[in-house]
């Protein structure tokens, strides 16, 4: 079973969510900025958390995918393989993107059952991530 990276929009909400196969890359109290997402996908290391304060997530637009991944994967809806790998190397983890729909933390947990681990990158809706 492989480890994958999943890029989603996620904002902090009430409560704390966890799943044994989901690890979250996030700042304390909120999602990552667009620059932090791009740095991680290029190979920068970051601490993995076992819990998330984000309980609901939304998909990324074509413009966001192009900016952060350099490609526009299928429109979805759902979890779409971007064709990219973290670190840019063939040995990196495959990068998936939530597209065309919303998902809960529990939806992501269900998706994670097919993988050894899902590294969740919840990004903010900052200007570099607004829907075009």
Taking the mean position of all CA atoms in its chain, how far away is CA 101?
Answer: 14
What does the pLDDT read at residue 50?
67
What pTM was estimated for this model as a whole? 0.84
Distance CA 59, CA 77 (A): 9
Mind listing the pLDDT tens digit of every residue in the chain (132 residues)?
Answer: 899 999 998 876 666 778 889 888 877 667 788 888 888 888 887 767 766 666 788 999 898 888 888 889 987 899 999 999 998 777 899 999 999 999 988 899 999 999 999 999 888 766 544 443
């Amino acid at each position: 079973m492989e480890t994958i990276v999943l890029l989603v929009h996620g904002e902090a909400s009430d409560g704390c969510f966890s799943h044994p196969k989901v690890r979250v890359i996030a700042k304390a109290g909120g999602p990552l900025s667009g620059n932090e997402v791009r740095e991680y996908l290029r190979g920068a290391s970051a601490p993995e958390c076992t819990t998330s304060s984000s309980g609901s997530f939304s998909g990324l637009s074509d413009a966001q995918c192009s900016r952060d991944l350099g490609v526009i994967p299928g429109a979805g809806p759902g979890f779409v393989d971007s064709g990219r790998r973290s670190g840019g190397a063939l040995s990196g983890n495959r990068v998936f993107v939530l597209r065309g729909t919303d998902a809960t933390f529990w939806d992501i947990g269900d998706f994670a059952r097919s993988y050894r681990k899902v590294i969740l990158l919840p990004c903010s809706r900052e200007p570099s991530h607004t829907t075009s």
